[in-house]
Structure 1
Amino acid sequence: KAVAFGEALKPEFKTYSGQVIANAQALAKGLQQRGFKMVSGGTENHVMLVDLRSIGMTGKQADQLMSGVNITTNKNTVPFDPESPFVTSGLRLGSPAMTTRGMGTEEFTEIAEIIADRLLSPEDEKVATACRERVAKLCDRFPLYPHL
C-alpha cells in the first residue's frame, strides 16, 4: 500500500488520472452519439455502464461480441434489470488499461465507434472483421511495452 500511496502523490499520477477520466467521458459521449444509453447519463470516473435494453441485446451477448473483436468488457446488471445476473442488460466499460497504453480522447472516440459498429451489427461478420482490424491497429500504435 505504501508504494501505491507514494505513486499517487506524484504529479504524473494526477495527469494520468485526469486523462483516465477524460478518456472515459470521450468513450461515453461517443457511444451516446450512436444512440446508446448510459446508466446515470454518462460518467464522472473511469468506468461506465451501458444499458443495452434499447437495442434488444443482453450484457452476455454484448460481452461475447466484444470479446470476439478483442475488446475486454464485463456484463453487468443495470437498475431494474429484468435479466438474471448471469445474463444482465448492461455492459461495463473502463478506460484505465487503454489510457496506460497512451491512448487519448481521439482514440477513445474511435473505440466508441468500433464498439457501436459491432453491437449494432451483431450478425455481420464483415463488420466483426473490420472491428478486429481496427482494434489491432490501435494496439499496434500503442503497445503495452514500447521499449521491447
Structure 2
Amino acid sequence: MKKILLTVFSILWFGLSLNCSSVPVKNHQIQREWMLVSFEDYSKEDLIRNNAKIDLTSTIENGKIKAGAFMGCNRIFFASEFKKDGKVKISGIGATEMTCPNIKLEDDFSKSLKNVTNYKVEGHFLTLTYDRGNAMKFVAADWD
C-alpha cells in the first residue's frame, strides 16, 4: 500500500512541476499599469483628467500580453508582443463603441497604437515609438 501511495504522489508531484514550468514568466518591468503622460499635442493635464492609461498586467498567451487601454470613455483592447531587442508588435486592436466627448483622443491613440514598432523602459517610464520617431510616454501607475 505504501508503495502504491508513494508512486501516486510521485506522479502527481512530477505532473504538477511540469505544469508550473510551462507557465509563462511575468515580465515585471513591462507588465504593469502605465499612465499616459505625453502624447502628440495633448497636454499632460488633459491626459490625467481623462485617466489615459494602458494596462499590460493581463495574462500571456502564446507569448503575447492581452492588454487594454482607457482614454476616458471606451475600453480599448489589444495584444502586445514585447521582444528583448526593443521591438514591439501590437495586434488585434478593438474597442467598445460608446459616444464620448473625448473621442478624438481615443481615435488618435488607437491610430498611433497600431503603428507602434519600438519600446523602451527607463526606470519607471515606458516609451512607445511609432511613425518615424513620434512617441507616447507613460509612467508606471504604481510609482510614487
Say which one has the larger Rg. 2
Which structure carries more helix by proportion?
Answer: 1
Q: Do both share a fold (TM > 0.5)?
A: no
Question: Shorter-chain TM-score: which interval?
Answer: under 0.3
